[in-house]
Amino acid sequence: MAQPVSRTLTLHGQQISYRTAGRKGPVVVLLHGIAGTSATWDAVLPALGEHHRVIVPDLLGHGQSGKLGGDYSLGAYASAVRDLLFALGHRRATVVGHSLGGGVAMQFGYQFPEMLERLALVSSGGLGRELHVMLRSAALPGAEFFLPLLFKTGLPSTGTKLAGLISKIGFRAGPDLEEIGRSFASLGSTEARQTFIHTVRGLIDPGGQRVDASSRLYLAKELPILIVWGAHDTLIPVEHGQEAHRRAPRSKLVIFEQAGHFPHVTEPRRFVEVLERFIADTKPASLDAERLRRLLVGEGGEAQALAPARRAG
């Protein structure tokens, strides 16, 4: 298997930390979720690197990468991914996004359609309103004052303590509980907590997700899309993936029956097999700005009429 290598790069005065594996084959970018890091892909990175050039960044404000400097929008995250690819000499890639990373991946395709060969969404955000109360509560006023209490000196290990708390609100023991505990344990610094709160409030309100890309899925008519979801996902319901599959003309839906919110962690070998088969069986998209314009003008009205109205709030 290809051994991952950790690297850093400075862009716009900010340090970007990323892992890479493999030197041949199509370029694949893996994007983690909110409060997560590139480490969430550890179980699949070596195997994917056997036949692909894999790039796994810590999104700005996460892990070892620098802070965003005030802009915590999906557009800012997507632009940072574009800049990283350009800096590394890559013009096109298959982009795989988990949770928040799925929203970033979709935004990347919307902003830079000529760079996206394929899109893979793993338990993705941005496809419906419903969301677990744990993340909705982070959007409440005062959440920024509560989080530091979890990290006070003298309290038990943060990861262990958080895992215990999370298990009481509907998460089963196993990969989901471990990954969520590890993600929230990464919020030990003030900067990390600020990134988390600002990102949450840009995408979520107390009622659920504010951003819904489902009405734009008709733009992916010529884009190969893989949708992977865990049947037992308690953070973002599997129904979001099923509805996205119905709306995306060329999508493939794979449900991991034994997994929750982290199917790539629960069943890494199967995840690699599904992703590699998807890449091998599909041709890279070729969507330039003019083709996107024609889709918007010629087909957008009909598609928008079929889409549900965006919910207020």
pLDDT one-digit tens code per residue, 184-242: 777 878 888 888 888 988 888 888 898 888 877 777 778 999 999 999 999 999 999 99
Q: Reply yes or no on whether the pLDDT at 309 is more than 50.
A: no
What total of structural domains would you count in the chain?
A: 2
Average pLDDT, the chain: 84
CB 141 within 8 A of CB 247: no
Domain holding 296: CATH number? 3.40.50.1820
pLDDT tens digit sequence for 92-136: 999 999 999 999 999 999 899 999 999 999 999 999 998 888 788
One domain, residues 51 and 89:
yes
CB 207 within 8 A of CB 140: no
Residue 189 is given by DSSP the state: S
One domain, residues 148 and 94:
no
- Give CA–CA dist 264/175, Å, rounded: 10
Identity at 225, one-letter amino acid code: I
One domain, residues 111 and 152:
no
One domain, residues 119 and 239:
yes
One domain, residues 115 and 256:
yes
Chain position carrying tokens 């810590």: 58
One domain, residues 60 and 138:
no
Q: Reply yes or no on whether the pLDDT at 87 is more than 60.
A: yes
Which residue out of 233, 240, 251, 264 is catalytically annotated?
233
- Give CA–CA dist 188/168, Å, rounded: 22
Query: Is 233 in the active site?
Result: yes
Q: Among the three residues 180, 205, 230, which one is the final residue of a domain in this structure?
A: 205
Domain of residue 197: give its range.
Answer: 133-205
Residue 255, φ and ψ in degrees, nearest 5: -105, 125
Residue 117: name the closest of 105, 103, 133, 132 by CA: 105
One domain, residues 261 and 281:
yes
One domain, residues 268 and 283:
yes
One domain, residues 81 and 214:
yes
Report the helix count and the strand count for the chain, using DSSP H and E. Answer: 13, 10
Q: In the numeric block, which tokens belong to residue 197?
A: 């709160």
- Give CA–CA dist 147/97, Å, rounded: 26
Which residue out of 98, 240, 245, 261 is catalytically annotated?
261
Q: Among the three residues 185, 205, 225, which one is the final residue of a domain in this structure?
A: 205
The pTM (predicted TM-score) of the whole model is: 0.86
One domain, residues 14 and 149:
no
Distances from the Cα of 218 to the Cα of 19, 90, 110, 163, 286, angstroms: 33, 27, 12, 39, 16
Q: Among the three residues 151, 186, 205, which one is the final residue of a domain in this structure?
A: 205
Q: How confident is the model at residue 145 (pLDDT cuts 50, 70, 90)?
A: low
One domain, residues 70 and 197:
no
One domain, residues 191 and 96:
no
Which residue out of 17, 79, 99, 214 is catalytically annotated?
99
Query: Is 99 in the active site?
Result: yes
75 in a structural domain: yes
pLDDT tens digit sequence for 160-181: 455 555 545 555 557 888 888 7
Query: Is 42 in the active site?
Result: no
Q: How confident is the model at residue 281 (pLDDT cuts 50, 70, 90)?
A: very high
How many Cβ atoms sit within 10 Å of the Cβ of residue 55? 24
Residue 149 is given by DSSP the state: G
Residue 119, beta-bridge partner list: 95, 225
Q: In the numeric block, which tokens belong to residue 216?
A: 């734009």
